[in-house]
Amino acid sequence: MTGGRIYLSAPDVGTLEEQFVVSALRSGWVAPLGPDVDAFERELAERVGVAHGVALSSGSAALHLGLLAMGVGPGDVVLTSTMTFAATANAIVYTGAEPYFIDCLPDTGNIDPDLLEHTLERLTAAGERVAAIVPVDLLGKAIDYTVIEQIAARFGIPVLADAAESLGASHNGRAAGSFGRASIVSFNGNKIMTTSGGGMLLTDEHELASRVRYLATQARQPVAHYEHTDIGYNYRLSNLLAALGRAQLHRLDDMIARRRALRDQYKAFFADTQGIEVFGAQGDENDNVWLTSILVDRRASGRTSADIRAWLADADIESRPLWKPMHLQPVFAGARSAISGASERLFRTGLTLPSGSGLDDVSIDRVFDQLRKHVATA
Ligand SMILES: Cc1ncc(COP(=O)(O)O)c(C=O)c1O
C-alpha cells in the first residue's frame, strides 16, 4: 500500500493466506464446517492456553452466544465498560438483558474496578440479578484480570471477557482470551489478525463450549431428521475463512512486531511534541498494540484532536476519535451507568492513528511527514 488512502488498520494478507484459502477451496470443504474450522479452533485455543475454541461468524456472535450459554436473559443486568465498541453492548441487548455501563480508568481506558465493585454492591443490595460482567480490553491492552476476577468471585458473577481487540496481549504472563469463564476474540477486517469477518469463543469449560457450538448451528438435535428444542442461530465460521485465520495465526507474532515498531516511532515522535502523548504507552510491553492513539491537550499543544484529524484527512490519511462511550450513544440514552468522566475526556481528546501491520515504509513516512508539517503550523 503506497499511494492512495492510508487506513487505520487495513487487513495484512499475502501469499501464505492465499495458499491456505486455495487449499481449503480445493479440499471441497466449502461450508461452515470442515477440517480448517477444527484445526483453527485447536490452534487458537492452544495459542491462548485454553481447552476449547468455537469458531463463529463474528466476535459479536461470540458475545451473544457466550452470554446465552451463561444463562443471561430478560430481567438480568450485565455490567460492561462504557468505553467500548457498540458490539459489546448490542450483544447484551440481544439476550434481553439490560446493559449497565461502567466508566474506565483514565490511563488505559479499561473498566474502573472501584466503580465496578461499588456498582455491584449497590445493585446486589437492591436485590437486582447481575448475571454477568463483560470487561473489554481496549485497543489491545489486557485489563487487570487479577482484580476483576477477584471482584467477580466475591459476588459469584461470571465474567465473559471481551478480548476482541487484544489477541496476542497478556496479563501476568497469561494470554488475553484465556480469562473469565469464557473470552471472545474478533477476526474482523480491521483486527490484529483477520478472517475478513469472524470470531471465536474461548473457554476451559467443555459444557459451555458445547452449548455455544450447538446454539451456533441452529440448535439442531443430534438426530437424522431436523429436530429442535431451542431457538438457534446460524453463527458458525466458514471453513474457507478458518483457513485464512490459520495462515494469519502463523503470522500473528510478526504482525504484532510490526505494529510495535510503528508504536515506537509514534512514541519517539510525540516525545518531543508538547501537549500530545501516546495513549496507554506506559506499560505497553504486554499489549498487542492493535491501535495507537494519541491524547491531545488543547491548551498545551495549541490544537485539538479534531484539528489533527482534519489535517490528515486532507492528505487522505484516516484517523478516528477514540470510541464514543456507550452512555453517550443516543441508542443507549436510557441506560443506567456509573460515570466518572474519564471516558468522556478520552473521547474528547483521543485520536487513533494509522496502525496497521501492512503499512509499508512509504506510507509510514507519509503519515509522519504530515504530522511533522501539522506540528510545525503551531
Ligand atoms: C471491543 C469489541 N467488541 C466486540 C467487537 C465485535 O467483533 P465483530 O466485529 O467480529 O463482530 C469488536 C470489533 O468489531 C470490538 O472492538
pLDDT of residue 346: 98
Nearest Cα residue to atom 8 of ligand 1: 59
Of the candidates 305, 310, 339, which has an alpha carbon nearest to the alpha carbon of residue 321?
A: 305
pTM attached to this predicted model: 0.97
Query: Ligand 1 centroid vs 85 CA: distance in angstroms?
Result: 7
Q: What is the per-residue pLDDT for 376?
A: 84
Check if the beta carbon of residue 81 is closer than 8 Å to that of residue 135: yes
Read off φ and ψ for residue 331, nearest 5 degrees: -65, -25
**Residue-level pLDDT at 74:** 98
121 CA from centroid of ligand 1 (Å) = 29
CA distances from residue 119 to 77, 126, 179, 185, 236 in whole angstroms, order as listed: 11, 11, 22, 26, 35
Average pLDDT over residues 172-199: 98
- SS3 of 22-83: the string is HHHHHHCCCCCCCHHHHHHHHHHHHHHCCCEEEEECCHHHHHHHHHHHCCCCCCCEEEEECC
Give SS3 for 336: coil
Is a pLDDT exceeding 70 seen at residue 361? yes
pLDDT of residue 1: 43
C-alpha 90 to ligand 1 mean position (Å): 10
Residue-level pLDDT at 289: 98
Provide the pLDDT confidence category of residue 299 given band limits of 50, 70 and 90.
Answer: very high
Q: For the chain, what is the total number of helices (H) and then of strands (E)?
A: 12, 14
CA torsion, ordered 81, 84, 86, 89, to nearest 10 deg: -20
Atom of ligand 1 nearest to the CA of 186: 10
Q: What is the mean pLDDT of residues 292-306?
A: 96
Q: At 114, give phi and psi (nearest 5°).
A: -65, -45
For the segment 19-59, what is each residue's pLDDT rounded down to a tens digit?
999 999 999 999 999 999 999 999 999 999 999 999 999 99
Question: Ligand 1 center to residue 314 CA distance, Å?
Answer: 28
What residues are in contact with ligand 1 under a 6 Å CB criterion? 58-60, 84-85, 87-88, 136, 162, 164-165, 186, 188, 199
Contacts made by residues 27-35, CB under 8 angstroms, sequence distance 24+: 27/239, 29/239, 30/238, 30/239, 30/240, 31/238, 31/239, 32/57, 32/217, 32/234, 32/236, 32/237, 32/238, 32/239, 33/236, 33/239, 34/239, 34/242, 35/239
Q: Atom 7 (ligand 1): residue with closest C-alpha?
A: 59
Distance CA 129, CA 123 (A): 8
Closest ligand 1 atom, CA of 63? 4
Looking at residue 378, its pLDDT comes to 63
**266 contact partners, CB below 8 Å, separation of at least 6:** 278, 292, 294, 353
Which residue's alpha carbon is at the smallest distance from atom 9 of ligand 1? 188
Point out the ligand 1 atom lying closest to the alpha carbon of residue 165.
16
Provide DSSP, 185-233: EE--TTSSS--SS-EEEEES-HHHHHHHHHHHBTTB-SSSS--BSS---
60-94 residue pLDDT tens: 999 999 999 999 999 999 999 999 999 999 999 99
186, 187, 238: which to mutate for ligand 1, most atoms within 8 A of CB? 186
Q: What is the mean pLDDT of residues 146-162?
A: 98
Choice from 56, 81, 85, 185 to test ligand 1 binding pocket (greatest atom count within 8 A of CB): 85
Q: How far apart are CA 343 and CA 179, in angstroms?
A: 24
- Region 198-226: what's the mean pLDDT? 97
Inform me whether the pLDDT recorded for 337 exceeds 70.
Answer: yes
| Ligand 1 atom index nearest CA of 187 | 10
Atom nearest to 136 CA in ligand 1: 1
**Rounded distance from Cα 100 to ligand 1 centre (Å):** 18
Return the percentage of the chain with pLDDT > 70, whole number: 99
What are the Cα distances from residue 243, in Å, to 45, 216, 371?
15, 19, 38
pLDDT at residue 215 tops 90: yes
pLDDT at residue 300, rounded to an integer: 96
What's the CA angle centered on 243, arms 33 and 65, to 5 degrees?
A: 50
- How large is the average pLDDT for residues 122-140? 98
Interatomic CA distance for residues 202 and 184, integer angstroms: 6
**What is the pLDDT, as a whole number, of residue 313?**
98
Residue 273 — very low, low, confident or very high, per pLDDT cuts 50/70/90? very high
Q: Strand order of the sheet with strand 276-278?
A: 276-278, 292-296, 350-353, 320-321
Q: How confident is the model at residue 130 (pLDDT cuts 50, 70, 90)?
A: very high
Distance 142 CA to ligand 1 centre (A): 15
pLDDT in tens, 174-183: 999 999 999 9
Distance in Å from the first CA to the final CA of the chain: 30
